[in-house]
Structures are given as C-alpha cells and as structure tokens.
Amino acid sequence: MASGQFYSDFYNHTYFHQSIYLGTEFEAGSNALNNQLMNRMVWGGYIDKETKNESAKLLKNFNNLGLILNNKIGSYIKYKDKLDLLISVQNYEILNAGFNKDFYHLAFYGNKMFLGQTINLSHCGVNALRYQELKFGGLFKKVENEAKIGFSLSFIKGEQLLFLKLGKNNTFYQSSDGTEIQIGANFELAMSDTNNRKFWSFNGIGSAADFYFEKPYKSKIGKKSVLIVNANHIGFIFWRKNSIQFSSDSVISFKGYTVDNILDLKDSTLNKISTDSILRSITNARKETFNINLPGNLFLINKIFLDHNMNISWNLGFRYMFNAHFRPYVFQEIEYRRKKLIFLIHAGTGGYYFFNCGAGVSYTSKRFFMRIGSNSLQGFIAPKLPFGQNLYFIIAYKF
C-alpha cells in the first residue's frame, strides 16, 4: 500500500508509534471525464464547450466518478506495553457518481439537444457527503508475540448530503416544440437541511467502526511476510428531521399552468408555479429522518520482505470501496529503505480509473516522520485523458 493512503490510521502506527500526527489525502478520478474537467468541477473555474466536448468523446455506455478529500489530526498514546490508544479528528468530503451518456449530455448541455427524443437515465446516481469524525480506538501489539489487532469507534457529525438514485425505466422526453415534458420516474432523492449548510451545521449524527489485523508469517517467497487486513469506515449517518426526501415510481407529465387573465394574477396563483411547489406536487416530497450508509473501505496487503535486513519489500494488495461506484482495485508496490529514507513505487488497476502509477518518499528520524506521495501521478501529467489524481501527505512528531 502506498503507506499513507487508503485512509488507514492503524497502518501508519508501524512507522511512528506513539506520536501526534497531521495528514491530508486527496483522490479523484473517472473512467470517462478527463482531468481538465474534473479539476474545474472540484476547484472551480469556467467549463467551456471545448472542455465538455473532450470528455464527451471519452464516454462509455456507463461511467463512474469519484472524489475523496480527507484532512485529519490524531495521536497515538501509550497506555500499556501491549496497548496504544488512538484519538483523531477528521473532516471528509466524498463524491461518487455513476452515469450513462444521456445523463452526461443532459447535465452539461441541457435538454435542447433532446427535443422530440426520449432518453434513458436508468441506474444513474450521485452520492455527495461532507462530515466530521471524532475517533477513539486502540491497537493491541504483540498479540501472540507478533500480531497486531486494532479497533476504533467514531462519532460522526453530518454536515451536508445530496443523494440521488435512479432505478430502472427512468426516461426523459420533451416535445419538439418544448411545450411538454414527460418523465418516466423511478427515483429516490435525499438532501440534508438546505437552510443549514455551514461547517458547524449539525444535520446528521452517525457512527463508524474500523478493524485492523496484522500478522507476520513465514512464506516460500522472501525472508519474511506480513499479512494486513483493514476494514474502515463501516458505518452510517442518521440525517435529522429537517432533511428532505423525494421519491416517485410513476410517469410524470408537465404541460405548464393555464392563466386566463394575466391582469388578474394573485399571489396564491404565483405561489403555485414556484419551482419548489412544482417539485413537491409531482413527487412524494416530505421532511423526515433517514439513514445513509458511508462509503466503507476494505483492503488487504501481503508484504514480502526480500532481504535479510528488511530493507526491500514487495507489496501485493487489494482494495474495495462499498457504496461508491468503485471497481475492485488490485495493486503492487516496491518499497526500499535506505538509512532514514523510504522510497516507494506504486502501480495498480481498477477503482475509478483503469490504470494508476505513482511514487512516494518518507523520512524518519528519532523524533520526526514525514511522507509525501501519490498513487496516481498520470492524472497530473496528462490532464486531457481520463486518469486519476491522488496526493497524500503526513507528518508526525514521535514521543
């Protein structure tokens, strides 16, 4: 594993033990949208027609998109010889989506190009989350002399949510003269309180758990091997009563409102044609509480040390994200330690994009540890292609 990445607090314990640490991790990618378009969506900026057209050429029958930004500060504190306690505070911003060609064209070009046509929007979806996490845990060391077992439980404050899930038979039709819209609707739409969208907003409450296992063993390849299994962010957020849900499983037809006398318009008539009232009148709109599962991580690593001094390792790994339009990700790495420096080369396939290559470097001393790297460098090198982007950085002061 590119050792600072994949959002694992327990894995880093191997490198800096009892300490206080600060880190940030960024991951974005799509198997269709190029990085020029992704960067403007994430960081802001005008998306011109040429940029949209470049990504439109790359579209497949079904496409995915993912973005994760994680900032954290934490500490490992020695409790007993065989137990270190973990506490951390983290901020997460997560976006993942699955979409077809028609969904992309409707979102970026509007409905004018589809006049007189019926388009298919089935099985598309978007899940956008922003939340903060307070984590408490412990890592048991030297279990049966060699193994490590970690567990943590987190309290989560939900800040913002946008969740859209389109089922089968979702269609959109607009008449050639633009006077009628007909939607074959089978969808669920959920949003957190739209009037309360600041960092300190307390729109949801939830919990998550992390599990970690590390076990050295003897293998036929190399001088020593270590098996690592980690499941993190297995949890949910309960969104509070001011959250809004819309749903429908029927055909919706809209031809506008009839006004007999424009000089006799009343406030009550105008209220009927507001955007919000139209949406509420044609869907099962209501304010209520509901649960949303978090995008959870599962990864496995087999770390094979190739020399007697344990300076060179070959890492084989697997990663999967639940609830995230994420394909299974398989990767391998070469890690080389020389004095106070650790060099790493990463290559993998799957996830939000087809192929990844990256590199990282770490510095360690008696009191400090620092790592910077990327699992997806190609996205920065070729912004007009649908490659991923990834950066991670962590610094720790050892007690």
Q: Which amino acid is at 263?
A: L
Indicate the range of 94-103, 260-269, 348-357 predicted with least confidence.
260-269
- Across 95-106, average pLDDT: 93
pLDDT at 276: 53
Write the pLDDT tens digit of every residue in 27-85. Answer: 998 988 888 888 888 788 899 999 999 999 989 999 999 999 999 999 999 998 899 99
Res. 387: pLDDT tops 80: no
Q: What is the mean pLDDT of the chain?
A: 88
| Radius of gyration of the chain from its Cα atoms, rounded to whole angstroms | 25
- Across 305-321, average pLDDT: 94
pLDDT at 148: 95
- Which pair of structure tokens corresponds to residue 111? 């409905």
pLDDT at 1: 40
Residue 4 pLDDT level (bands cut at 50, 70, 90)? very low
Indicate the range of 4-13, 53-62, 148-157, 388-397 predicted with least confidence.
4-13
pLDDT at 256: 60
- Which pair of structure tokens corresponds to residue 267? 């406030």
Q: Which residue has the higher pLDDT, 353 or 225?
A: 225
Res. 369: pLDDT tops 60: yes
Residue 353 pLDDT level (bands cut at 50, 70, 90)? confident
Res. 184: pLDDT tops 60: yes
Domain 13-398 belongs in CATH node 1.10.8: no
Q: Which residue has the higher pLDDT, 267 or 158?
A: 158
Residue 398 pLDDT level (bands cut at 50, 70, 90)? very high
What is the DSSP-derived secondary structure letter of residue 115? B
Cα 45 from Cα 66, distance rounded (Å): 19
- Across 343-358, average pLDDT: 91
pLDDT at 264: 54
Helix axes 49-56, 101-109, angle to 10 degrees: 180
pLDDT at 187: 86
14: enclosing H helix or E strand? helix 13-16
pLDDT at 271: 52
Percentage of the chain lying above the pLDDT 70 cut = 91
CA atoms within 13 A on the CB side of 179: 3
Write the pLDDT tens digit of every residue in 192-242. Answer: 988 888 888 899 999 999 999 999 998 888 889 999 999 999 999 999 988
Indicate the range of 40-44, 142-146, 357-361 predicted with least confidence.
40-44
Res. 279: pLDDT tops 90: no
Q: Cβ contacts of residue 191 below 8 Å, gap of 6+?
A: 161, 162, 163, 243, 244
pLDDT at 59: 92
pLDDT at 5: 53
Res. 313: pLDDT tops 90: yes
Cα 210 from Cα 370, distance rounded (Å): 24
Residue 288 pLDDT level (bands cut at 50, 70, 90)? confident
Cα 171 from Cα 193, distance rounded (Å): 28
- Across 162-178, average pLDDT: 87
- Which pair of structure tokens corresponds to residue 105? 């064209």
Indicate the range of 78-82, 230-234, 267-271, 277-281 predicted with least confidence.
267-271
- Which pair of structure tokens corresponds to residue 371? 């790592």
Cα 298 from Cα 321, distance rounded (Å): 6
pLDDT at 354: 80
pLDDT at 2: 43
